[in-house]
Structure 1
Amino acid sequence: MPYKVNPDSFGFLVTDVARLIRAEMDRRIGEAGLGLTPSEGRTLSHAARAGTVRQNVLAERMGVEAMTLSSSLDRLEAQGLIERQPDPDDRRAKLVHVTEAGSAMLERMAPISLALRADASQGIVAKDWDRLLDMLKTVRASLTAAKSASSAKESGNS
């Protein structure tokens, strides 16, 4: 008898929710007339979240290839929403940071995010929503710790 996969397991649920949120946010950003592609909106949001960070680190945090990120950053830089500067610790690397214009764009995007969160949390009381967020933060921290432990173990074996 073939193994039956649970379509409502943790991994599938998290993946489905992330995919649905991304698609809906992309649609709303595209319809908002902000002059950003959905990819640019995501990149700008991730850059703001990360703070001033190397371009390759930002790509890793976003889960995209460096070349994919580079083209979005080129367009954001052309619009004055981000700046890239040489990393003083490694001139070959570039540091990305959000400009004042980028912060203003994020403020324009904020109501879209707020409306999406309101739609996503329909039927969930605020206390339960807060608890869900707390639990997801715990899962994130646990997985981050597991990744760090695995990386430390691998570098110790080298």
Structure 2
Amino acid sequence: MPRRANTESIGHLVADISRLIRAEMDRAIAEAGIGVTAGEARALFHAARAGRVRQNVLAERMGVEAMTLSGYLDRLEAHGLVTRIGDPKDRRAKLVELTEAADAVLDAVSDVAVQVRRKAAGALSDDEWNALLEQLKTVRGNLAGQTPKEDAT
């Protein structure tokens, strides 16, 4: 006898949507020939948002292991998109900073993200999409222990 499982719960839906959006971003970024992977693009966006940031803090904000981020940053640094410098407050730590060359990549990835968003939204109006985003931000804030006004992401 099959077991009852609610695959339409919020957890399953959010996990499925996340997986599908990441796969679509991977495909679209590769197809666009931008020269970075979706993971590397995420690292660039998080670094752009943070400004000069410690590598371990960036990994934490992205929700990835330090070694995963290190691989992304190695490739981004080789492409001249980021620099890593020693933290003057802690010689063991590295600070990540974007180069000017990263701006063009961020713009190109942003264009791809707009296309993926349009595909994901389908027949939803802009108002419906924005309402969905606001509701999801509230859920995220609730789970993170923040009120929506405290949540800047």
| Structure 1 alignment gaps of length 5 or more | 147-158
Gaps of 5+ in 2: 147-153
2:116 is matched with 116
CA distance in 2, matches of 1:8, 1:120: 18
Q: Give distance in 2, aligned partners of 1:49 and 1:133.
A: 19
> What TM-score results when the alignment is normalised by the length of structure 2?
0.87
Q: Deviations over 1:54-103 (max 9, x none)?
A: 11111122222111110110110111111112223212111112221112
Partner of 1:19: 19
Higher mean Cα deviation, 87-96 or 130-139?
87-96
Query: Are 1:132 and 2:128 counterparts?
Result: no
Aligned-pair distance for 1:130?
A: 0.9
CA distance in 2, matches of 1:77, 1:25: 22
Structure 2 counterpart of 1:38, one-letter code: A
Aligned CA distance change for structure 1 residues 20 and 58 (closer, same or farther; 3 Å): same
Aligned length: 146
- Distance between the aligned counterparts of 1:106 and 1:52, measured in 2? 16
2:80 alignment counterpart: 80
Aligned partner of 1:103 in structure 2 is: 103
SS of aligned partner of 2:119: helix
Supply the RMSD in Å over aligned alpha carbons.
1.7
Instruction: Specify the SS of the correspondent of 2:145.
Output: helix
In structure 1, what residue type is equivalent to 2:115?
A: A
Q: For residue 7 of structure 2, what is the amino acid of its counterpart?
A: P
| More off after superposition, 45-54 vs 84-93 | 45-54
Cα distance in 2 between the residues matched to 1:142 and 1:72: 31
Which structure has the highest helix share of the two? 1
Q: Which residue of 1 aligns with 2:33?
A: 33
